[in-house]
Amino acid sequence: MELSSRKRNIAFWVLQIVGWGFINSIGALIPQNISFEMVVFSIIVGTFIGVLSTSILRWYLKRNVHFDSFGVKEVIKIIVSTLLAATLFGLLNVFFGYIYVEFGPDLTETEMRMFEGYDKIMVQVLNSIFLVGAWVITYLVIKLLLKLNQNRIERLELNTTLKQAQLNTLKGQINPHFMFNSLNNIRGLMLEDVDKSREMLTKLSEILRYSLTKNNINDIPVREELEVVDNYIDLSKIQFENRLEFVKKVDDDTLDLRIPPMIIQLLIENATKHGISNLKSGGRILLAICKKGDDLYIEVRNTGKLNISEDSTKLGLNNIEQRLKLLYADRASFKLEEISEEVVAEIKIPLV
């Protein structure tokens, strides 16, 4: 989860105080025979020096080092600023050490040995480089991890937005694609049989109502999808009359499983448009749905040959492939092949 700027700042200050306090506590408690006053002074002042110098360093790094375009200039800035912070760290150690020696309580022998050379600035700075350098490395590692996490979240949000936009576009293709085909059928029968035309309009309105109400969701129960398929078949049978035979073999344990809306209807429509409609004697469409292990298998067989014309947009087939890929990635599959004078379309959808 991405941390807010306020929470990151709070976490930084807590880690600063606790971290430097812990380091100085260890340094103050290891030596033997030192006074309580010396321990308290070392912890408080050491923590103050560490927090002050590294907080100034952090302020500089945040405003002058661009991690998005990290290069030689940024490395130089980090090295120079680290050396300057270490110098400040060492000078403050010398200053507060002088204050304690000159104005503090009498020193024990152990404390006197501890303060030997406290006024040697270069020694203090060199010692400080190690501490401040370790702090910089830790800071940069945390900064990098937060940046990587932020980039990951942004990519996920972008992919989610893109996928949803693509899904909405694909869903929007279904309605006009199906509607134009149905309206053409109605137009052909309008002057021949008014009753049949009226019945086709009723079926069409039911199908369009279904597609519109399910347009904002990504999955529905199989039984709801079968209702629109039945309406489509009834609609098509009015046109094809006895030329169309529809057989449905659906296992009962699949009726409540969830699938993308309109996906079976597209298979049936493709079988009708590119299969049965091209055969003078008509043919059969078989719909079979079953569950195998953790996958749902949807199969549509139609009489005919797999012969997609060059001028075909293959809108329905492409729609199915893209929706499955967007919703299930590589876990779903769709294949279309010709087997023994039949065109077989099979979809495999993961259930877990």
The CATH number of residue 300's host domain is 3.30.565.10
Tell me if 237 is assigned to some domain: yes
Tokens encoding 120: 């040697």
Residue 161 to residues 53, 156, 247, 312, 331, Cα–Cα distance (Å): 43, 8, 40, 30, 21
* Of 280 and 107, more confident: 280
Do residue 151 and residue 197 come from a single domain? no
DSSP state, 30?
S
Lowest mean pLDDT among 4-13, 30-39, 98-107, 160-169: 160-169
pLDDT in tens, 139-161: 888 888 888 888 788 777 766 66
Q: What is the pTM of this model?
A: 0.52
Q: For residues 324-347, give the mean pLDDT.
A: 89
pLDDT at 332 (0 to 100): 92
pLDDT at 66 (0 to 100): 79
Q: Is the dihedral of CA 41, 42, 46, 49 positive or negative?
A: positive
Tell me if 182 is assigned to some domain: no
* Of 190 and 13, more confident: 13
Tokens encoding 56: 């100034």
- The answer on pLDDT for 169 being more than 60 is no
How many distinct helices (H) and strands (E) make up the chain?
9, 7
Tell me if 34 is assigned to some domain: yes
* Cα 83 to Cα 126: distance, rounded to the nearest angstrom: 9
Do residue 33 and residue 77 come from a single domain? yes
Do residue 81 and residue 151 come from a single domain? yes
Residues contacting 41, CB < 8 A, separation 6+? 100, 104
- The answer on pLDDT for 313 being more than 50 is no
Do residue 91 and residue 198 come from a single domain? no
User: Which helix H or strand E contains 125, and what residues bound it?
Assistant: helix 121-189
**The domain boundary residue, chosen from 138, 156, 174:** 156
- Tokens 């040959």: give the residue: 305
Q: For residues 33-42, give the mean pLDDT.
A: 75
* Of 68 and 151, more confident: 151
Residues contacting 268, CB < 8 A, separation 6+? 229, 232, 233, 285, 287, 300
Do residue 82 and residue 210 come from a single domain? no
Tell me if 172 is assigned to some domain: no
- The answer on pLDDT for 95 being more than 90 is no
Strands (E), 212-341: 220-221, 244-250, 258-259, 283-292, 295-303, 333-339
Tell me if 87 is assigned to some domain: yes
Do residue 147 and residue 195 come from a single domain? no
Tell me if 221 is assigned to some domain: yes
Rounding to the nearest 10 degrees, give the CA dihedral for residues 122, 127, 128, 129. 90
Q: Do 343 and 334 contact (CB within 8 A), yes or no?
A: no
- The answer on pLDDT for 172 being more than 60 is no
pLDDT at 167 (0 to 100): 58
Tell me if 29 is assigned to some domain: yes
**pLDDT grade, residue 346 (50/70/90)?**
very high
Task: Tell me the β-bridge partners of 291.
Answer: 296
CA angle 154, 156, 157 (to 5 degrees): 65
Q: For residues 263-272, give the mean pLDDT.
A: 87
Do residue 152 and residue 202 come from a single domain? no
Tell me if 168 is assigned to some domain: no
Closest CA to 50 of 11, 78, 25, 21: 21
Type of residue numbered 196:
K
Lowest mean pLDDT among 120-129, 193-202, 221-230, 255-264: 120-129
Q: For residues 47-73, give the mean pLDDT.
A: 86
Do residue 139 and residue 205 come from a single domain? no
Do residue 316 and residue 212 come from a single domain? yes
Do residue 117 and residue 220 come from a single domain? no
Q: What is the residue range of 218's domain?
A: 190-350
pLDDT at 272 (0 to 100): 85
Whole-number average pLDDT of the chain:
80
Q: How many domains does the chain have?
A: 2
**pLDDT grade, residue 109 (50/70/90)?**
low
Residue 321: count of CB within 10 angstroms of its CB: 18
**pLDDT grade, residue 197 (50/70/90)?**
confident
Do residue 337 and residue 237 come from a single domain? yes
Do residue 338 and residue 200 come from a single domain? yes
